[in-house]
Protein backbone atom coordinates (compact mmCIF):
# COMPACT_ATOMS: atom_id res chain seq x y z
CA UNK A 1 0.00 0.00 0.00
CA UNK A 2 1.47 3.39 -0.96
CA UNK A 3 0.71 6.60 0.85
CA UNK A 4 -0.10 9.40 -1.59
CA UNK A 5 -0.73 12.11 0.97
CA UNK A 6 -0.74 12.38 4.73
CA UNK A 7 -1.40 14.82 7.54
CA UNK A 8 -2.47 14.88 11.17
CA UNK A 9 -4.89 16.68 13.49
CA UNK A 10 -5.30 16.88 17.25
CA UNK A 11 -8.52 15.70 18.88
CA UNK A 12 -8.75 17.46 22.24
CA UNK A 13 -12.36 18.43 22.87
CA UNK A 14 -15.83 18.53 21.41
CA UNK A 15 -14.99 21.49 19.16
CA UNK A 16 -12.22 19.40 17.64
CA UNK A 17 -14.74 16.67 16.83
CA UNK A 18 -16.45 19.18 14.53
CA UNK A 19 -13.10 20.04 12.91
CA UNK A 20 -12.32 16.34 12.45
CA UNK A 21 -15.63 15.87 10.65
CA UNK A 22 -14.73 18.79 8.36
CA UNK A 23 -11.22 17.64 7.51
CA UNK A 24 -12.36 14.07 6.86
CA UNK A 25 -15.05 15.41 4.53
CA UNK A 26 -12.42 17.47 2.65
CA UNK A 27 -10.19 14.45 2.23
CA UNK A 28 -13.10 12.25 1.14
CA UNK A 29 -13.90 14.85 -1.52
CA UNK A 30 -10.27 14.88 -2.69
CA UNK A 31 -10.65 11.32 -3.90
CA UNK A 32 -14.19 11.89 -5.15
CA UNK A 33 -16.11 9.71 -2.74
CA UNK A 34 -19.84 9.55 -3.45
CA UNK A 35 -22.07 11.52 -1.10
CA UNK A 36 -23.09 8.35 0.73
CA UNK A 37 -19.47 7.21 1.13
CA UNK A 38 -18.48 10.68 2.39
CA UNK A 39 -21.31 10.55 4.91
CA UNK A 40 -20.27 7.08 6.09
CA UNK A 41 -16.59 7.87 6.66
CA UNK A 42 -17.40 11.23 8.28
CA UNK A 43 -19.91 9.58 10.63
CA UNK A 44 -17.43 6.83 11.56
CA UNK A 45 -14.80 9.51 12.22
CA UNK A 46 -17.17 11.45 14.43
CA UNK A 47 -17.72 8.33 16.56
CA UNK A 48 -14.03 7.51 16.88
CA UNK A 49 -13.03 11.10 17.56
CA UNK A 50 -15.63 11.36 20.31
CA UNK A 51 -14.41 8.13 21.89
CA UNK A 52 -10.85 9.51 21.81
CA UNK A 53 -12.06 12.61 23.67
CA UNK A 54 -14.43 10.87 26.07
CA UNK A 55 -12.43 7.81 27.00
CA UNK A 56 -8.91 8.38 25.67
CA UNK A 57 -8.43 11.82 27.21
CA UNK A 58 -7.83 13.24 23.73
CA UNK A 59 -5.79 11.93 20.86
CA UNK A 60 -4.53 12.39 17.35
CA UNK A 61 -5.91 11.63 13.91
CA UNK A 62 -3.54 10.65 11.11
CA UNK A 63 -5.07 11.05 7.66
CA UNK A 64 -3.72 9.22 4.63
CA UNK A 65 -4.76 8.84 1.05
CA UNK A 66 -3.54 5.40 0.10
CA UNK A 67 -3.41 3.30 -3.03
CA UNK A 68 -3.10 -0.46 -3.34
CA UNK A 69 -2.28 -0.25 -7.03
CA UNK A 70 -5.85 -0.70 -8.23
CA UNK A 71 -7.83 1.75 -6.18
CA UNK A 72 -7.48 4.67 -3.84
CA UNK A 73 -8.77 4.86 -0.32
CA UNK A 74 -8.95 7.07 2.72
CA UNK A 75 -7.10 5.62 5.68
CA UNK A 76 -7.63 7.16 9.11
CA UNK A 77 -5.76 6.31 12.29
CA UNK A 78 -7.22 7.46 15.62
CA UNK A 79 -4.69 7.19 18.37
CA UNK A 80 -4.86 8.06 22.07
CA UNK A 81 -2.75 7.43 25.14
CA UNK A 82 -5.72 6.80 27.40
CA UNK A 83 -6.59 3.81 29.59
CA UNK A 84 -6.97 1.38 26.68
CA UNK A 85 -9.71 -1.18 26.15
CA UNK A 86 -9.48 -4.36 28.23
CA UNK A 87 -11.97 -6.45 26.24
CA UNK A 88 -12.11 -5.33 22.62
CA UNK A 89 -14.76 -7.90 21.68
CA UNK A 90 -17.05 -6.59 24.37
CA UNK A 91 -16.40 -2.93 23.48
CA UNK A 92 -17.39 -3.66 19.87
CA UNK A 93 -20.75 -5.12 20.89
CA UNK A 94 -23.71 -2.90 20.11
CA UNK A 95 -25.21 -1.65 23.32
CA UNK A 96 -22.08 -2.04 25.44
CA UNK A 97 -21.05 1.21 27.09
CA UNK A 98 -19.15 2.23 30.18
CA UNK A 99 -20.29 5.82 29.67
CA UNK A 100 -23.74 7.18 29.07
CA UNK A 101 -23.85 6.52 25.36
CA UNK A 102 -25.78 3.89 23.45
CA UNK A 103 -22.73 1.72 22.87
CA UNK A 104 -23.04 2.16 19.12
CA UNK A 105 -19.90 4.08 18.20
CA UNK A 106 -17.33 1.33 17.78
CA UNK A 107 -19.57 -1.33 16.26
CA UNK A 108 -21.25 1.26 14.06
CA UNK A 109 -17.96 2.73 12.84
CA UNK A 110 -16.81 -0.77 11.91
CA UNK A 111 -19.93 -1.29 9.78
CA UNK A 112 -19.42 2.04 7.99
CA UNK A 113 -15.94 1.26 6.62
CA UNK A 114 -14.24 -1.44 4.58
CA UNK A 115 -11.35 -2.15 6.92
CA UNK A 116 -11.30 -1.75 10.66
CA UNK A 117 -8.58 -2.63 13.13
CA UNK A 118 -8.16 -1.97 16.87
CA UNK A 119 -4.91 -2.22 18.78
CA UNK A 120 -5.25 -1.45 22.44
CA UNK A 121 -3.54 -2.34 25.65
CA UNK A 122 -4.59 -1.42 29.14
CA UNK A 123 -2.69 1.56 30.47
CA UNK A 124 -1.07 2.25 27.09
CA UNK A 125 -3.79 3.60 24.86
CA UNK A 126 -5.82 2.76 21.82
CA UNK A 127 -5.14 2.88 18.09
CA UNK A 128 -7.97 2.37 15.66
CA UNK A 129 -7.30 2.20 11.93
CA UNK A 130 -10.07 2.42 9.36
CA UNK A 131 -10.02 2.44 5.57
CA UNK A 132 -12.76 3.18 3.15
CA UNK A 133 -11.88 2.34 -0.46
CA UNK A 134 -13.14 4.33 -3.39
Ligand X SMILES: Nc1ncnc2c1ncn2[C@@H]1O[C@H](COP(=O)(O)OP(=O)(O)OP(=O)(O)O)[C@@H](O)[C@H]1O
* 56, 65, 129, 132: residue in contact with ligand X (rule CB under 6 A): 56
The Cα 38–Cα 74 span in angstroms is: 10
The Cα 35–Cα 95 span in angstroms is: 28
* 11, 47, 52, 55: residue in contact with another protein (rule CB under 8 A): 47
Distances (CA, A) of 91 to 35, 59, 107: 29, 18, 8
* DSSP annotation of 124: T
74 binds another protein (CB under 8 A): no
User: Which residue(s) pair with 67 in the sheet?
Assistant: 2, 72
| Minimum CB–partner distance for residue 17 and another protein (Å) | 7
51 binds Mg ion (CB under 5 A): yes
| Minimum CB–partner distance for residue 119 and ligand X (Å) | 11
DSSP string, 67-90: E-SS-EEEEEEEEE-SS--S-HHH
* 105, 125, 130, 131: residue in contact with Mg ion (rule CB under 5 A): 105
Of 93, 115, 125, whose CA–CA distance to 106 is shortest? Answer: 93
70 binds another protein (CB under 8 A): no
| Minimum CB–partner distance for residue 53 and Mg ion (Å) | 10
| Minimum CB–partner distance for residue 21 and another protein (Å) | 6
List of residues contacting another protein (CB under 8 A): 14-15, 17-18, 21-22, 25, 35-36, 38-40, 42-43, 46-47, 50, 94, 101-102, 104-105, 107-109, 111-112
Amino acid sequence: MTILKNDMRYIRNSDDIVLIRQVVREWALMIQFSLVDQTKIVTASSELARNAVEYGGGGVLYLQIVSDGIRKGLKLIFEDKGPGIADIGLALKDGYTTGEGMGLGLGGARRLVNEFNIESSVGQGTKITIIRWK
